[in-house]
Amino acid sequence: MIWPFKPNKRKQIARIEITGAIASETRKRVLKALKTVEEEHYPALLLRIDSPGGTVGDSQEIYDALQRIRHKGVKVIASFGNISASGGVYIGVGADHIVANPGTITGSIGVIIRGNNLERLLEKVGVSFKTIKSGPYKDILAFDRESTPEEMNILQQLIDTSYEQFVGTVAQGRNLPVETVKSFADGRIFTGQQALELGVVDRLGTEEDARRWLADLVDLDPDKVKCRTIEEKKPVLMRLLSGRSLSKRSRLATSLDWLEFELSTQGQPMWIYRP
């Protein structure tokens, strides 16, 4: 029998997880989930972040989407998990409030772009490339040669511009002076306890603490309110594999995910921390 009455989403809290490196697939999934939050009229969103960061554009789009639902009246609290660094911080400051564990690894506010110079290796194996290009910088960060000083200057300007965007967003989101943010936005990482002292987070606590605080903000009973995780259904095989977090297969899958991320983002500016 189909129950004729739909649950009242205005009396529930939505929950979205952001885990792993942030790239295009994460962006698509999170934006779709945020649209669901808006369309189903949830009053509040618990955003659980356990991520080292990721690509600049994808992090910015998630942040902008958070701003939109907040402007429509949805209260948002971000809960930082084991690690919420770089792009994870950028997304987190889009929330009304942030809760972190005392030992959460966070920070790493900065920008990085990487390229590989395999010129000497290619010479040893006798491989060379012939490049036809429309302009002197079309093959910037080419892996078969050293970058020129002019190219390094272009890349540094790109990084500096992205960095200023990052710092400005953190300053605005956390209501801090830009110079204060710059005093610790040098790429360093810090704990949740240190983040509290710096003004990056509002409280120390668990995800459950964040949920209860959020319920209070929207006048719902923390002991009774339901918290619904909005996520795409995974195939049965993937669900079985994800439950075996300590298996060799799972560790291999994680390594392959990182390899795929590195290859797909090669040469892109990133807000990311990786130990």
Buried b (16+ CB within 10 A) or exposed e, 16-48: bbbebbbbeebbebbeebbebbbeeebbbbbbb
Buried b (16+ CB within 10 A) or exposed e, 156-175: eeeeeebbeebbebbbebbe
Please pick, among 51, 79, 84, 86, the residue that the annotation labels catalytic. Answer: 86
State the Cα angle at 10 between 4 and 14, rounded to 5°.
Answer: 100
Catalytic status, residue 138:
yes
Q: How far is CA 70 from the centre of its chain?
A: 18
Contact criterion met (CB below 8 Å) for 61 and 30: no
Helices (H) and strands (E) in the chain, counts: 10, 10
What is the residue whose two structure tokens read 């040098």? Answer: 186
Catalytic status, residue 124:
no
Please pick, among 138, 183, 234, 255, the residue that the annotation labels catalytic. Answer: 138
User: HEC states along 127-166?
Assistant: CCCCCCCCCCCCCCCCCCCCCCHHHHHHHHHHHHHHHHHH
Q: Hey, which residues are catalytic here?
A: 86, 138
